[in-house]
A and B are shown apart, each in its own frame.
Chain A
Amino acid sequence: NAGVTQTPKFRILKIGQSMTLQCAQDMNHNYMYWYRQDPGMGLKLIYYSVGAGITDKGEVPNGYNVSRSTTEDFPLRLELAAPSQTSVYFCASSLGQYSEKLFFGSGTQLSVL
């Protein structure tokens, strides 16, 4: 059972480039989330989804887009990358609402230079 899988693990982007961070879960969870973790800080919510076709903004959505066409996948799109988006990105999923437990991926280290 793979849990939550994120790819890639590391990436370097040039300013203005775009990319998609991939996230997939095999636990049939309806709820999925994207967080970012800046150095020396806790995680902040970027976007979340409560099911296929339904997404909503979190605390720090600017500069990002998401889509949720299937239960399993929740990709995060960065358009026009900026140095302020240098961070570690985590995808997570949960079974229930206001869940008891989030299952996290191992993160993507992104540097924008």
Chain B
Amino acid sequence: AQTVTQSQPEMSVQEAETVTLSCTYDTSESDYYLFWYKQPPSRQMILVIRQEAYKQQNATENRFSVNFQKAAKSFSLKISDSQLGDAAMYFCALMNYGGSQGNLIFGKGTKLSVKP
């Protein structure tokens, strides 16, 4: 069975500082994608960053970067220079290549608060 686990229900960070959100996953597939999605209070799901499992290089999008450890099945998200607008729920998600189209397996989410 495929699972995604986010062990931190809530996290807090001071504005301008760095925070890391944890995610572990389990899959028997060798080809898959991993995602971090942001869900602000508006409910809109916004893709933050995407990582292909076959790529060893960690993905980076501006202030957002991941630490992808394939052997450990770990996919953490680092947010640098945190801003008030980063406050949201963050979901880690897994999609197996070749699996049911669009079947993202989501974790339960981490609620991130940013303190001014």
Contact = CB atoms under 8 A, between A and B. Distances in A.
B4 interface: yes
A45 to B, nearest CB: 5
Interface string B79-108: 000000000000101010110111111111
The listed residue with most B CB atoms (<10 A of its CB), out of A31, A104, A106, is A104
A90 B46 CA distance: 12
Given A31-B101, A42-B4, A48-B101, A101 B47 contact: yes
A94 B106 contact: no
Interface size class on chain A is 20 to 34
Interface string B31-47: 00100000000111111
A92 interface: yes
A57 B91 CA distance: 23
A98 B95 contact: yes
Given A42-B108, A56-B100, A98-B95, A90 B45 contact: yes
- The interface residues of chain B, by DSSP majority, are classed as loop
A92 B102 contact: yes
Contacts of B107: 42
Contacts of B93: 42-43
B100 A45 contact: yes
Given A42-B93, A98-B97, A48 B102 contact: yes
Contacts of A31: 101-102
20 contacts: A31-B101, A31-B102, A41-B106, A42-B4, A42-B91, A42-B93, A43-B91, A44-B106, A45-B103, A56-B100, A58-B103, A59-B103, A90-B45, A92-B45, A98-B33, A98-B95, A98-B101, A100-B50, A102-B104, A107-B43
Interface of A: 31, 33, 40-45, 48, 50, 56, 58-59, 88, 90, 92, 94, 97-102, 104, 106-107
The 8 A-B residue pairs whose C-beta atoms are closest, nearest first, are A42-B106, A104-B45, A33-B102, A107-B43, A48-B102, A45-B103, A43-B106, A42-B91
